[in-house]
C-alpha cells in the first residue's frame, strides 16, 4: 500500500488521511505507454485513473476521423468522472498521450467512497467544476484565438501535466489535438522557436523560457490556472 506522502497525484494528496486509507488498499500502480486507449467512445467505464506522471487526453472523434482534444489530464486530476456522475460512459476517447505512471481504482470502490465520504465528494465536485472551466474555456479559445497563442497555451498545459521541459510531441500530433492543420502548427512553432522560447527537433519540443511562453499564450491559460487555484488550492502544474 503506497503511503499518501509518496503519492504524486494531487487529488489523492488532498484527501484527509482517513479517506485516503479507505482507497489505498484498492489502488494499483500502472505504467502507461503513449497510445494506450483507456476508454473508447460509448464503452462502459469500470476503472478510474489517477495520473502521476502520465498525461491523458479526452479526445473528440468526428465521423470523418478528425480529432480534437477537449480535455487534458495529468497529476492534478482523474479520468473516469462518469463513474461518480452516473453516466456510465464518455462519448469521447480517453488515450494516453505521454507515457508515465498512474494509479488505477475499481469504479465500484470509488462510487462507494464518493457517497460515503463528504471530503472525497466535495473534492471531486470541485475538480469537476475546474474541469468544466477547462473544457468551456478551451472551446472558446479554439474559436477566438490565433494558433500561435493556442499552441503556447497548450504547451504550458502539457508541461503542467508532466512537469518536464522536454515534451515528446510531433507537430502532426499537436495539430490533431488542437483540431487544426499541421502547416499552422509548423508556422506557430517556428515563430516561438525563432523567439528563443522553444526548441523543436523531430518528435520533441523543449521549453526554453517558460515565462516568455506564458507571455506568448492567450489569457485562457491563466484563467484556467486561477480557477484550479481558487477551487482546489493548487495550480495544475
Q: What is the pLDDT of residue 67?
A: 82
Q: What is the pLDDT of residue 62?
A: 87
Q: What is the pLDDT of residue 3?
A: 81
Contacts of 62 (CB under 8 A, 6+ apart): none
Strands 204-207 and 198-201: antiparallel
Q: What is the pLDDT of residue 151?
A: 92
Cell of 87: 453516466
User: From CA 50, how far away is CA 55, in angstroms rounded?
Assistant: 10
Q: What is the pLDDT of residue 236?
A: 64
Answer for the pair 152, 192: CB distance below 8 angstroms, yes or no: yes
User: Which residue stretches of the chain have pLDDT < 50?
Assistant: none
User: From CA 237, how far away is CA 235, in angstroms rounded?
Assistant: 6
pTM listed for this prediction:
0.90
* Domains in the chain: ranges and CATH: 4-139 (2.60.120.10), 146-217 (1.10.10.10)
Condensed to tens digits (0 to 9), the pLDDT of residues 161-217 reads 888 899 988 888 888 778 788 888 889 999 999 999 999 887 889 999 999 999 999
Q: What is the pLDDT of residue 230?
A: 92
Contacts of 223 (CB under 8 A, 6+ apart): 133, 137
User: From CA 28, how far away is CA 203, in angstroms rounded?
Assistant: 31
Q: What is the pLDDT of residue 50?
A: 97
**Cα separations (Å) of 37 from 34, 148, 155?**
9, 29, 22
- Measure the CA angle with vertex 119, ends 22 and 56; round to 5°: 75
The strand pairing partners of 167, in sequence order, are 205
Q: What is the pLDDT of residue 105?
A: 97
Amino acid at each position: 500500500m503506497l503511503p499518501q506522502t509518496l503519492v504524486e497525484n494531487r487529488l489523492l494528496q488532498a484527501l484527509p488521511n482517513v479517506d485516503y486509507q479507505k482507497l489505498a488498499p484498492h489502488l494499483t500502480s500502472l505504467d502507461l505507454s503513449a497510445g494506450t486507449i483507456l476508454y473508447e467512445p460509448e464503452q462502459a467505464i469500470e476503472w478510474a485513473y489517477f495520473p502521476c506522471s502520465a498525461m491523458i487526453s479526452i479526445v473528440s472523434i468526428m465521423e470523418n476521423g478528425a480529432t480534437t482534444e477537449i480535455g487534458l489530464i495529468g497529476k492534478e486530476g482523474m479520468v473516469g468522472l462518469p463513474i461518480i456522475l452516473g453516466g456510465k460512459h464518455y462519448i469521447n476517447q480517453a488515450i494516453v498521450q505521454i507515457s508515465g505512471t498512474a494509479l488505477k481504482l475499481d469504479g465500484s470502490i470509488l462510487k462507494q467512497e464518493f457517497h460515503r465520504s463528504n471530503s472525497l465528494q466535495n473534492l471531486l465536485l470541485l475538480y469537476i467544476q475546474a474541469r468544466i472551466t477547462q473544457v468551456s474555456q478551451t472551446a472558446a479559445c479554439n474559436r477566438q484565438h490565433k494558433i500561435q497563442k493556442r499552441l503556447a497555451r497548450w504547451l504550458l498545459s502539457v508541461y503542467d501535466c508532466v512537469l518536464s521541459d522536454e515534451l515528446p510531441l510531433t507537430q502532426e500530433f499537436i495539430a490533431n489535438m488542437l483540431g487544426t492543420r499541421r502547416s499552422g502548427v509548423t508556422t506557430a512553432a517556428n515563430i516561438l522557436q525563432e523567439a528563443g522560447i522553444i526548441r523543436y527537433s523531430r518528435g520533441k519540443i523543449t521549453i526554453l523560457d517558460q515565462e516568455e511562453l506564458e507571455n506568448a499564450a492567450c489569457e485562457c491559460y491563466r484563467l484556467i490556472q486561477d480557477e484550479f487555484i481558487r477551487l482546489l488550492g493548487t495550480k495544475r502544474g
